[in-house]
């Protein structure tokens, strides 16, 4: 048996592939376009491992995907591939529409063609698991209950709107064509191999480089944070036992304002890599112009996944963030290699006008 993972050179997809092959001998076909966010170095430990078949390509390339499906006969397709950064979606939504909506549509069609041709038993066992986000539910105010699977979709950014559209396509391919789909909607992830354009790795990398730590607006926007390996275990759980056509919210029960996240990162760095002059990394915190349309609060009610499938996160925020900071300190080479070309251009464009 084999699984096909898309976007497996990105942050969550690569963590998923590494964890999967650490716990199972079932091969993984990894289809990734290698955009700026795809980093083959993250998968370096799998070099020469015959269980990992890496293919550079686009989920929207029907001929390629159809060939891969026919050749490898996977029992499941897990779709991690996406454009994933909200700020980039504000500067240029085109790629988000192309990959997240059109790409998912074309992938669904290729997978449907393959699935329809399967014999009864593999057809019944086949799964298409779509990895999505809590951002499709929009923004909560302070006292609103956390997002449940029954909340209506109210996406506010081009990123979340494109993910919402892809979730609707996945749902429709189940209801109309019977494709055996599962969807997960997860909160903000953090952990090893996270591209330093996102809040937590950006803060670690900037702090160590002596640069400002840019906090948007008043820093009181709230996110729920989940250690990436817990997200991976949730996806394995849903793949194994999830009810067809259902969506499952995944979260860490860890709501925190951004400024508190940044202060925690600074405290850990003060402890693990104290500055020569004895000052705290927190002195580098700089409030910058807010993100347009910035969602105020996300919170996830993950009780359905816990009740139906017994999944719970293994890490608390305290244990997960300590592991994360320690990982970045232990892997300066990975960080240095990521900080080239596209990444530097992006940082310049995003923070133009703010002190760097
Ligand atoms: P990422 O940006 O780090 O990685 C995305 C990967 O997809 C990259 O390797 C990129 O090369 C690849 N890719 C992009 N377009 C492609 C295409 N057209 N064809 C094939 N590959 C393509 O993203 P991530 O943070 O790992 O997120 C993975 C998935 O999880 C996304 O669908 C995202 O919406 C979802 N998600 C992310 C978070 C989070 O906090 N990062 C939370 C919930 C859900
Ligand atoms: P991010 O990691 O981009 O994830 P998302 O927008 O998908 O939640 O951002 C997390 C939060 O941190 C979000 O509220 C925006 C904020 N943020 C900053 O304050 N400064 C930054 O430099 C970045 C990248 C994000």
Query: pLDDT tens, 74-111?
Result: 999 999 999 999 999 999 999 999 999 999 999 999 99
Query: In the predicted model, is pLDDT for residue 227 greater than 60?
Result: yes
Closest C-alpha to ligand 1, atom 29: 80
Query: pLDDT tens, 252-266?
Result: 999 999 999 999 999
3 state SS for the chain: CCEEEECCCCHHHHHHHHHHHHHCCCCEEEEECCCCCCCHHHHHHHCCCCCEEEEECCCCCHHHHHHHHHHHCCCEEEECCCCCCHHHHHHCCHHHHHHHHHHHHHHHHHHHHHHHCCCHHHHHHCEEEEEEEHHHHCCCCCCCCCECCCCCCCCCCHHHHHHHHHHHHHHHHHHHHCCCEEEEEECEEECCCCCCCCHHHHHHHHHHCCCCEEEECCCCCEEEEEEHHHHHHHHHHHHHHCCCCCEEEECCCCEEEHHHHHHHHHHHHHHHCCCCCCCCHHHHEEEECCCCCCCCECCECCHHHHHHHCCCCCCCHHHHHHHHHHHHHHCHHHHHHHCCCHHHHHHHHHCCCCCC
Residue 184 CB less than 6 A away from ligand 1: no
For the entire predicted model, the pTM comes to: 0.96
Domain-wise residue ranges, the chain = 3-189+228-251+293-314
Lowest mean pLDDT segment, chosen from 114-118, 134-138, 342-346: 342-346
Residue 80 CB less than 6 A away from ligand 1: yes
Residue 313 Cα to ligand 1 middle (Å): 21
Residue 205 CB less than 6 A away from ligand 2: no
Ligand showing the shortest atom-to-Cα distance for residue 79: 1
Mean confidence (pLDDT) of the chain: 95
CATH class of 3-189+228-251+293-314: alpha beta
The residues annotated as belonging to the active site are 134-135, 159
């Amino acid at each position: 048996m084999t699984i096909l993972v898309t976007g497996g050179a990105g942050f969550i997809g690569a963590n998923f592939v590494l964890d999967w092959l650490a716990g199972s001998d079932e091969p993984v076909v990894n289809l990734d376009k290698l955009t700026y966010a795809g980093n083959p170095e993250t998968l370096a430990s799998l070099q020469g491992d015959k269980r990992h078949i890496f293919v550079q390509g686009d989920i929207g390339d029907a001929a390629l995907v159809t060939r891969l499906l026919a050749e490898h006969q996977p029992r499941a397709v897990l779709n991690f591939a996406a454009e994933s950064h909200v700020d980039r979606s504000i500067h240029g939504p085109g790629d988000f529409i192309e990959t997240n909506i059109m790409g998912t549509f074309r992938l669904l069609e290729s997978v449907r063609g393959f699935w329809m041709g399967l014999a009864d038993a593999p057809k019944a066992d086949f799964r298409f698991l779509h990895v999505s986000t809590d951002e499709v539910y929009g923004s909560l105010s302070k006292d609103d209950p956390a997002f449940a699977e029954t909340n209506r979709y109210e996406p506010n950014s081009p990123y979340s709107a494109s993910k919402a559209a892809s979730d609707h396509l996945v749902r429709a391919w189940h209801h109309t064509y019977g494709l055996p789909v599962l969807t997960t909607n997860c909160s903000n992830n953090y952990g090893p191999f996270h591209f330093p354009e996102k809040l937590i790795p950006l803060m670690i990398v900037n702090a160590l480089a002596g640069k400002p730590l840019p906090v948007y607006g008043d820093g009181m926007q709230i996110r729920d944070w989940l250690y990436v390996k817990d997200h991976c275990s949730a996806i394995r759980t849903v793949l194994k036992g999830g009810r067809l056509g259902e969506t499952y919210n995944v979260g860490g029960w860890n709501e925190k304002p951004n400024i508190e996240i940044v202060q925690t990162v600074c405290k850990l760095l003060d402890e693990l890599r104290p500055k020569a002059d004895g000052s705290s990394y927190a002195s580098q915190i700089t409030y910058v112009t807010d993100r347009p349309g910035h969602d105020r609060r996300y919170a996830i009610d993950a009780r359905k996944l816990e009740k139906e499938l017994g999944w719970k996160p293994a890490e608390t925020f305290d244990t997960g963030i300590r592991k994360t900071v320690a990982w970045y300190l232990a892997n300066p080479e990975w960080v240095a290699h990521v900080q080239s070309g596209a990444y530097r251009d992006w940082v310049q464009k995003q923070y133009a006008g703010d002190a760097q």
